[in-house]
């Protein structure tokens, strides 16, 4: 799995994933043009859509109603180092039989992005210059 973010000037990047393109930018108050989501908003969007996918799979597999399925993800900022520290995933449905609550909760907790964030993934940073100046 891989995405490429290409600098597009100012504080804007164009992100390509499998031929799909999205724009990442900063709000005007951060010096951007507000042309797209910020990097932290993309992280929240990834978590929300992943949790939603797993919820929908659970519901669809059991032929349960998906009406009103909506996922809201919020996060709190923490300082030193700057990061998002506490995430809350709220799964909204028009209706849900109480006997499916535990199963739906297990399904949402199985989300790949949730499990990745909960497992403190290793992140390697590599610098690669096309030309090295001496």
Whether the Cβ atoms of residue 38 and residue 26 lie closer than 8 Å to each other: yes
pTM of the entire structure? 0.93
Whether the Cβ atoms of residue 46 and residue 113 lie closer than 8 Å to each other: yes
Residue 40 in 3-state DSSP?
A: helix
pLDDT tens sequence for the chain (134 residues): 999 999 999 999 999 999 999 999 999 999 999 999 999 999 999 999 999 999 999 999 999 999 999 999 999 999 999 999 999 999 999 999 999 999 999 999 999 999 999 999 999 999 999 988 88
Looking at residue 101, what is its pLDDT? 97
Both tokens assigned to 51: 């949790």
Edge-to-edge strands, sheet with 20-24: 4-7, 13-17, 20-24
Looking at residue 132, what is its pLDDT? 81
Under CATH, which architecture does the 38-126 domain have?
2-Layer Sandwich (3.30)
């Amino acid at each position: 799995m891989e995405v490429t973010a290409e600098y597009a000037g100012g504080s804007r990047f164009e992100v390509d994933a499998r031929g799909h393109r999205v724009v990442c930018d900063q709000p005007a108050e951060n010096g951007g043009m507000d042309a797209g989501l910020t990097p932290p908003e993309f992280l929240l969007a990834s978590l929300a859509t992943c949790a939603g996918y797993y919820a929908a799979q659970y519901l669809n597999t059991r032929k349960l109603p998906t009406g009103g399925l909506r996922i809201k993800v919020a996060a709190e900022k923490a300082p030193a180092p700057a990061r998002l520290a506490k995430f809350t995933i709220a799964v909204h449905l028009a209706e849900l039989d109480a006997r499916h609550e535990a199963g739906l909760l297990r399904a949402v907790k199985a989300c790949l992005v949730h499990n990745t964030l909960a497992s403190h993934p290793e992140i390697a940073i590599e610098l690669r210059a096309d030309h090295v100046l001496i």
